[in-house]
Structure 1
Amino acid sequence: MMRAQEADPINLEVLLALGVSHTNELEQTAALKYLYGWLRHHPKYGTLAPLELANSLYYAYSLPLMLLWDSLLML
């Protein structure tokens, strides 16, 4: 999966699969990184993920991302 991500860093299927995989392994920071990437590059939902939010993911500050997911679910 990592090789697929290296070959195409914005492949939505790979980003989502990596996000889910890291979630299952309880690796919050990595999971948020990949799930944010999926959201940011998604053609329909990309506008919900501001670029400045990416920096907060490296510090595992998940509140802004949780709010993003909540707003996504409201669509």
Structure 2
Amino acid sequence: MMATIDLDTLRARIRSMDFEPGTPEQVALWREDFAESRANLAIEDMALDAEDDAMFAMMLDEGVSPAMMVTLIHGLYQPGANQLAA
């Protein structure tokens, strides 16, 4: 588990950001990529827990690209940064 994430706060922050969400076709491809990644993690006994899955699913629902997800998650762990979620 990465951390306890307030998904409602994170969703609100994402919706307030100025970014171009992925198209439905892009999001569908990203979902397939994430399913493959999750399967690989499970094979290596490093499966995501339900909370992490929910966070990634919510970000995909909001059209957040995988590259932007990395930036958002990185921001969650920056000491002194404007936290995205508690």
Decide: shared fold, TM above 0.5: no
Task: Answer 1 or 2: higher relative contact order, Cα 8 Å, separation at least 6.
Answer: 2
TM-score range, shorter chain: 0.3 to 0.5
Q: TM-score, normalised by structure 2?
A: 0.35
TM-score by length of 1: 0.39
Higher Cα radius of gyration: 2
